[in-house]
């Protein structure tokens, strides 16, 4: 019998061979890690179904192989210090370093030239006047944050103290001029490319709040003393209001705008058109009303609306967000509001739902923001407003068990994963992101990502029953379709 090491190596070898063969069949080349140019053209081949499946196996096997081969002491030490990699990435995104390096061209940019543009202090983060400075005699923290990233294959150090972009680091670039980013940081994410807004959310609010997770979790108060507003974020920023109320404070204006852009960028992680390709929206009767509860600016519903012109949509959210949503829809689907295809309503989803004729209530990425008690309030209000034929669609991650899914829910169509990983891979394919997002919800809110059994129990209590689950390959989002009980 082959050893685990040999089995894992075999999976890597065969999967890479599959990727290579598929690329040749498509007359394409798999993207070069060192080449950040033409990302849209280069990355399209990565979305090919056969390549996605083979690459997923290779990645899972490679990660597991490292865990087997690496000394345990090194594994735990590196993991315990990995938060500093996040800190380094935060410095890079907040200082326009990615934009400065892109402007320098493929030959890269020397750290002193980066510093002259973004004003980073020679010995600490801050502003510096570059008068009478011998640029050959000082070092800047730029190299100290770029080097750990380059070691993680984010950026390249092409020669001593000279850094250039690669395929991964290009995701940190807004695509704007470095001067524009430095002059107006509050506008840097408007119309930006890449995922800088998400990275800054992760390396600012989440990063700082994460330091207090241990304090909040271990305090273990008596159940009747639990405080929904004693979150790690509340402690980190010395506040006692919910995340969204905190965002709306004047001093958090930049963070508030960035959060909206981060949520929109997060939706781009899903393959294009995935929102409209799972549930059969086109089978709904003409002029069916979809009420997007807590819609944000409405980007999820917009994708469905573009593919299904006979459906009607209502966006519900806080008044301040609704105004942004109106601008967004007019830009992306001009005339939709004037024709009545989309309407907007300021609404608090913790209050009674005013719409009684919805064909579908849609809540996308809402449940994970809240604890069970609050989610129950949202779902019960929707249940009270539902007709017998109304459906509820919940768009969320379903957190997998590392050991494999609970077979007792097999009766629900789509409840079980589409494929079973080959041995000896973990049942969850070694993907840690869902659990990190869960901890992010713990840090920022009193929310959580949930397993399917958790959703089953929670929705049952609110008067809904899961009738089908839609999963989609490499799309991190799942769709749960529920009927009123």
Active site residues: 368
Question: 292: which strand partners?
Answer: 315, 362
| 147 vs 165: CA distance, rounded Å | 13
The maximal CA–CA distance of the chain, rounded, in angstroms, is 77
Q: What are phi and psi of 416, to 5 degrees?
A: -90, 145
**CA terminus-to-terminus distance, the chain:** 52
At residue 166, the 3 state secondary structure works out as: coil
The dihedral of CA 164, 170, 175, 176: what is its sign? negative
Residues forming beta bridges with residue 394, ordered by sequence position: 363, 480
Q: Is the torsion defined by CA of 302, 306, 311, 312 positive or negative? A: positive
CA–CA dist 276, 306 (Å, integer): 9
Residue 231's alpha-carbon distances to 236, 330, 449, in angstroms, are 9, 37, 16
Closest Cα to residue 312, out of 334, 344, 280?
344
Phi–psi pair at 444, nearest 5 degrees: -90, -30
For residue 442, the SS3 value is helix
| Cα–Cα distance measured from residue 143 to residue 149, given in angstroms and rounded to the nearest whole number | 10
For 480, phi and psi rounded to 5 degrees? Answer: -105, 125
Residue 450 gets which letter from DSSP? B
CB 445 within 8 A of CB 233: yes
Cα separation, 472 vs 216, in Å, equals: 35
């Amino acid at each position: 019998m082959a050893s685990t090491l040999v089995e894992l190596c075999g999976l890597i070898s065969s999967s890479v061979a599959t990727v290579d063969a598929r690329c040749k069949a498509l007359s394409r080349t798999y993207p070069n890690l060192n080449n950040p140019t033409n990302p849209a053209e280069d990355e399209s081949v990565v979305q090919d179904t056969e390549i996605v499946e083979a690459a997923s196996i290779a990645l899972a096997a490679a990660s597991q192989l490292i865990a087997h081969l690496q000394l345990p002491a090194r594994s735990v030490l590196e993991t315990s210090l990995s938060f500093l990699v996040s800190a380094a990435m935060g410095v890079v995104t907040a200082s326009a370093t990615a934009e400065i390096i892109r402007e320098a061209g493929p030959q890269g940019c020397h750290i002193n030239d980066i510093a002259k543009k973004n004003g980073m202090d020679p010995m600490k983060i801050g502003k510096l006047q570059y008068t009478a400075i011998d640029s050959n005699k000082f070092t800047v923290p730029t190299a100290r944050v770029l080097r750990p990233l380059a070691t993680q294959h984010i950026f390249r150090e092409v020669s001593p103290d000279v850094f250039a972009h690669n395929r991964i680091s290009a995701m940190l670039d807004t695509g704007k001029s470095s001067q524009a980013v430095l002059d107006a940081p509050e506008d840097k994410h408007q119309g930006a490319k890449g995922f800088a807004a998400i990275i800054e959310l992760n390396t600012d609010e989440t990063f700082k709040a994460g330091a207090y997770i241990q304090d909040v979790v271990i305090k273990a108060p008596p159940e009747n003393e639990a405080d929904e507003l004693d979150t790690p974020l509340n402690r980190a920023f010395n506040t006692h209001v919910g995340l969204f109320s905190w965002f709306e404070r004047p001093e958090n204006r930049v963070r508030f705008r960035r959060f909206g852009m981060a949520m929109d960028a997060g939706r781009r992680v899903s393959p294009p058109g995935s929102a409209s390709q799972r549930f059969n929206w086109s089978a709904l009767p003409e002029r069916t009303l979809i009420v997007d509860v807590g819609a944000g600016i409405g980007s999820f519903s917009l994708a469905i609306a573009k593919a299904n012109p006979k459906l009607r949509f209502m966006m519900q959210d806080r008044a301040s967000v609704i105004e942004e949503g109106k601008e967004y829809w007019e830009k992306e689907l001009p005339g939709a509001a004037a024709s009545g295809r989309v309407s907007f309503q300021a609404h608090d989803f913790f209050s009674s739902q005013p719409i009684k004729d919805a064909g579908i209530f849609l809540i996308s990425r809402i449940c994970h923001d809240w604890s069970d008690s609050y989610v129950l309030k949202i779902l019960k209000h929707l249940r009270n407003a539902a007709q017998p034929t109304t459906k509820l669609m919940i768009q969320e991650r379903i957190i997998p068990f590392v050991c494999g899914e609970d077979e007792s829910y097999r009766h629900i169509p789509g409840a079980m994963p589409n494929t079973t990983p080959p041995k000896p891979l973990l049942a969850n394919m070694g993907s840690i992101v869902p659990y990190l997002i869960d901890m992010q919800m713990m840090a920022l809110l009193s929310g959580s990502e949930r397993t399917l059994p958790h959703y089953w129990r929670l929705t049952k209590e609110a008067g809904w029953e899961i009738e089908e689950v839609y999963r989609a390959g490499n799309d991190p989002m799942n769709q749960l379709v529920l009927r009123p009980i």
